């Protein structure tokens, strides 16, 4: 690899999530669920959702223009644009083609890449593809851009509070502050029906929650093993949790992230890692012989390993959980929203650190990979990325909906999914300036979007004053 292509990775990031949200605590009351079922049982605080004004296309338009503007990137400098999503608005036309509107207006239609699909894994597939492109002989020196955009909605029932919505944008190129360690990659793919979307006219998935959790943890074990093997092969020393500073997981709900990190700790124990002290070793010993499903479903093992790894969790995982707990499951965007949370929380102290990522998409596709972090140079510095992400500001300026209003919105959206010939509400007051929104869908199902003026002055300008 020549020096031009060194340290390929994420140069810049931005995130968008709808301002509409509902508190998990109030959902518990509204649903008549036991207190703490969503907040402690699932580990979730709040859930964002799209109203009729927004969808995965509008969110990706918003986050793409925002990234280009905030990092001052000329749209002509983008040579590849890939989208990861599992929210299907059209079964043939890619979300990427909607985004082309932004680039065509600037005279750039020469942009490779389309949409990648496999549940929550599509964003990772898009990211790996984009990195490979920069390292390939067909790279033309321009930036890659990866967009993860999803709206997670569930039919009434226990899965409903595990929804969420967001779009993440990542600029890809060499000399990145968030550099791929391409050699240490552990992948596991398999044919299972844990979560899928065979009911084509409905936005809701078919979910086997218990199976999906087992599949996730099995995939985690396998990917961790493969990641460790490759690490040891290239580094000449074994990998354990102490070799990385942060662990970032795909987060359908926070409780699974807690279980996942505990599971990695249990793996380290099984590998006789010195990370696990004598005392902890004694407590985990009884679970050594559990095999298969037993091992993934044993409550005592889960409890013991979570307790024993609690301190490490606080040090290495906690900082990634902010946005996933506040916004909910964002499918393809979920893992990268968790990465954004780390940068938000720790950007001043990440230089030289390693972040291990675990991406999971039902069906299933999973990969563990890692980044090396560097402070970087403005505008592609970790501190500038944190400032553009503006996580605290975005979380604070949200609009809380009552559960009744959330349910009403879900019902309206059920009718709107796959529909034609309708206009949306003219009231865009809840949208932040610069947000794209759906205005109408015509009789041929063609969708029309507008951008809310970025400032009041611009808004007046747009009205011809």
292 binds a second copy (CB under 8 A): no
Nearest to 404 by CA among 17, 20, 26: 26
Nearest to 310 by CA among 351, 259, 271: 259
27 binds a second copy (CB under 8 A): no
- Among 73, 114, 290, 407, indicate the residue that binds a second copy (CB under 8 A): 114
Output the smallest distance, CB 220 to a second copy, in A.
Answer: 13
CA atoms of 462 and 161, how far apart (whole Å): 39
Q: Which range touches a second copy (CB under 8 A), out of 32-40, 186-194, 395-403, 453-461?
A: 186-194
174 binds a second copy (CB under 8 A): no
Q: With contact defined as beta carbons under 8 Å apart, do 216 and 251 qualify? A: no
Residue 343 CB neighbours (<10 A) = 24
Q: Which of residues 384-423 bind a second copy (CB under 8 A)?
A: 417-418, 420
Q: Is 250 a catalytic residue?
A: yes
Output the smallest distance, CB 209 to a second copy, in A.
Answer: 13
- Give the nearer residue to a second copy in terms of CB position, either 129 or 258: 129
Output the smallest distance, CB 117 to a second copy, in A.
Answer: 5
Q: Are strands 365-373 and 354-361 parallel, antiparallel or unpaired?
A: antiparallel
- Among 29, 199, 315, 402, indicate the residue that binds a second copy (CB under 8 A): 199
Paired with 399 in beta bridges are 20
Q: Which range touches a second copy (CB under 8 A), out of 28-36, 192-200, 276-284, 384-392?
A: 192-200
450 binds a second copy (CB under 8 A): no
Q: Which of residues 334-363 bind a second copy (CB under 8 A)?
A: 361-363
Q: Which residues, 6 or more positions from 159, have their beta carbon under 8 angstroms from its beta carbon?
A: 207, 209
Q: Mark 58-97 with x for binding to a second copy (rule: CB under 8 A) and - for no binding.
A: -----------------------x----x-xxxxxxx-xx
Output the smallest distance, CB 461 to a second copy, in A.
Answer: 25
Residue 151 structure tokens: 């709206």
CA atoms of 190 and 204, how far apart (whole Å): 22
Output the smallest distance, CB 230 to a second copy, in A.
Answer: 9
378 binds a second copy (CB under 8 A): no
Nearest to 264 by CA among 352, 368, 164: 368
Alpha carbon distance, N-terminus to C-terminus of the chain: 54
Q: Provide the phi-psi class of 352: left if phi over 0, else alpha when psi is between -120 and 50, else beta.
A: left
302 binds a second copy (CB under 8 A): no
CA atoms of 389 and 12, how far apart (whole Å): 10
- Give the nearer residue to a second copy in terms of CB position, either 1 or 29: 1
- Among 188, 259, 346, 451, indicate the residue that binds a second copy (CB under 8 A): 188
222 binds a second copy (CB under 8 A): yes
- Give the nearer residue to a second copy in terms of CB position, either 200 or 282: 200
- Among 3, 200, 274, 277, indicate the residue that binds a second copy (CB under 8 A): 200
**What are the backbone angles phi and psi of residue 445, rounded to the nearest 5°?**
65, 15
3 binds a second copy (CB under 8 A): no
- Among 189, 270, 450, 453, indicate the residue that binds a second copy (CB under 8 A): 189
Q: Is 86 a catalytic residue?
A: yes
439 binds a second copy (CB under 8 A): no
- Among 3, 32, 109, 282, indicate the residue that binds a second copy (CB under 8 A): 109
Output the smallest distance, CB 348 to a second copy, in A.
Answer: 29
| Residue from 250, 344, 347, 374 carrying the catalytic annotation | 250
How many residues bind a second copy (CB under 8 A)? The answer is 76
Output the smallest distance, CB 242 to a second copy, in A.
Answer: 25
* Helix pair angle (299-308, 254-270), 10° resolution: 80
| Residue from 28, 54, 82, 86 carrying the catalytic annotation | 86
Output the smallest distance, CB 321 to a second copy, in A.
Answer: 24
CA 291-223-125 angle, 5° bins: 140
Residue 13 structure tokens: 């990031």
Q: What's the Cα-to-Cα distance from 62 to each of 82, 121, 300, 336, 449, rounded to whole Å? A: 15, 22, 45, 17, 11
- Among 35, 76, 101, 303, indicate the residue that binds a second copy (CB under 8 A): 101
> Taken in order 407, 409, 410, 412, is the CA torsion positive or negative?
positive
Query: Which string of DSSP letters, residue by residue, matches 325-377?
Result: HHH---GGGHHHHHHHHHHHHHGGG-TT-EEEEEEEETTTEEEEEEEEE----
Q: Which of residues 121-160 bind a second copy (CB under 8 A)?
A: 121-122, 125, 128-129, 131-133, 135-138
DSSP state, residue 401 = E
- Give the nearer residue to a second copy in terms of CB position, either 86 or 268: 86
- Among 18, 113, 173, 328, indicate the residue that binds a second copy (CB under 8 A): 113
Active site residues: 86, 120, 250
């Amino acid at each position: 690899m020549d020096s031009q292509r060194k340290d390929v990775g994420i140069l810049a990031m931005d995130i968008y999530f709808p301002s509409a949200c509902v508190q998990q605590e109030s959902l518990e009351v509204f649903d008549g669920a036991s207190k703490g079922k969503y907040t402690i049982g699932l580990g979730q605080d709040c859930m964002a959702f799209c109203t009729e004004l927004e969808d995965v296309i509008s969110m990706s338009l918003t986050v793409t223009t925002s990234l280009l503007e905030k990092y001052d990137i000329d749209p002509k400098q983008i040579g590849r644009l890939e989208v990861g999503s599992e929210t299907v608005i059209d079964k043939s036309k890619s979300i990427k083609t909607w985004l082309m509107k932004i680039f065509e207006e600037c005279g750039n239609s020469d942009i490779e890449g389309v949409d990648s699909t496999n549940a929550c894994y599509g964003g990772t597939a898009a990211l790996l593809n984009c990195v490979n492109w920069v390292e390939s002989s067909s790279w033309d020196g321009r930036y890659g851009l990866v967009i993860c955009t999803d709206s997670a909605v569930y039919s009434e029932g226990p899965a409903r509070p595990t929804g969420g919505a967001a779009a993440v944008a990542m600029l890809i190129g060499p000399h990145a502050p968030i550099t791929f360690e391409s050699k240490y990659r552990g992948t596991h793919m398999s044919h299972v029906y844990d979560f899928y979307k065979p009911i084509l006219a409905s936005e809701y998935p078919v979910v086997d929650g218990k199976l999906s959790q087992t599949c996730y943890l099995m995939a985690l074990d396998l990917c961790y093993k493969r990641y460790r093997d490759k690490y040891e092969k290239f580094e000449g020393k074994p990998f354990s949790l102490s070799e990385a500073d942060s662990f970032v997981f795909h987060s359908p709900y926070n409780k699974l992230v807690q279980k996942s990190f505990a599971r990695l700790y249990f793996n380290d124990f099984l590998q006789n890692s010195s990370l696990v002290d004598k005392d902890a070793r004694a407590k985990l010993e009884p679970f050594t012989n559990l095999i298969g499903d037993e091992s993934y479903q044993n409550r005592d093992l889960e409890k013991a390993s979570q307790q024993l790894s609690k301190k490490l969790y606080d040090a290495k995982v906690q900082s990634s959980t902010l946005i996933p707990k506040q916004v909910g499951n964002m499918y393809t965007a979920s893992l990268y929203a968790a990465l954004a949370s780390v940068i938000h929380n720790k950007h001043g102290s990440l230089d030289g650190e390693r972040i291990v990522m675990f991406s999971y998409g039902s069906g299933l596709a999973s990969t563990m990979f890692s980044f090396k972090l560097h402070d970087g140079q403005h505008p592609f510095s970790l501190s500038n990325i944190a400032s553009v992400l503006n996580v605290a500001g975005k979380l604070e300026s949200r609009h809380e909906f009552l559960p009744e209003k959330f349910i009403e919105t879900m019902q309206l959206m059920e009718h709107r999914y796959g529909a034609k010939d309708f206009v949306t509400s003219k009231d865009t007051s809840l949208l932040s300036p610069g947000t794209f929104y759906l205005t109408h869908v015509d009789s041929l199902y063609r969708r029309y979007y507008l951008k809310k003026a970025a400032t009041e002055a611009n808004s007046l300008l747009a009205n011809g004053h």
